[in-house]
Amino acid sequence: MGYLKIVIAQNYLDSSTDLALRRFYLGNYLLIKCSYTYLNYFARSFNPEWYPEWGVPIGTASPLPATISELRDARSGLYTRSYSNGLVAVNPDTVPHTLSLGTMYYLVTPVGGGTVPDNGDISGMRLSYTPVTRVVVAGNDAAILVRVRPGSK
């Protein structure tokens, strides 16, 4: 009989504008995501916060392998996991690594995020999409990539 495993990944941001740290947290979460995996990070505020990357349209995760080492891409040195509409690549190293994608993806970049204004308007908190066929992932950072960006067919 197997054991039910629940993972709650929670961490704190020194600043909601630290995009590399936000991507790194999200990327690591996406590497291990399963039915009972949750992510929460916030900037040590008692106010409601929203980060647009929490709604990235990456799709359904591929099955988890038996060990995390199976997610390591030997050519790039990055840890990667496929999703039905994308790919996540995490660089736990301190130097940049390059991943050649073989086809076009859209690199997802959060714009804004943090404390929700008193009026509740989070329209300025969004995701931008840059077409790429290869991506350089800085040390202690991650790349979140989607195949189809929202609004395109």
What residue numbers bound the domain in which 20 lies? 7-146
25: amino acid identity, one letter: Y
pLDDT in tens, 134-151: 999 999 999 999 999 887
Looking at the domain assignment, is residue 153 inside a domain?
no
- Give me the residue label for tokens 């979140």: 144
**pLDDT, position 4:** 54
CA distance 81 to 33: 10
Using the predicted structure, report yes or no on whether residue 8 has a pLDDT greater than 90.
Answer: no
Q: What is the mean pLDDT of residues 31-52?
A: 85
- How many domains does one find in the chain? 1
Q: Where are the beta strands (DSSP E) in the chain?
A: 7-12, 37-42, 49-50, 79-83, 86-91, 97-111, 114-115, 126-137, 141-146
The dihedrals phi and psi of 67, each to the nearest 5 degrees, come to: -135, 155
Looking at the domain assignment, is residue 151 inside a domain?
no
Report whether 115 contacts 48 (CB < 8 A): yes
Looking at the domain assignment, is residue 69 inside a domain?
yes
Using the predicted structure, report yes or no on whether residue 65 has a pLDDT greater than 80.
Answer: yes
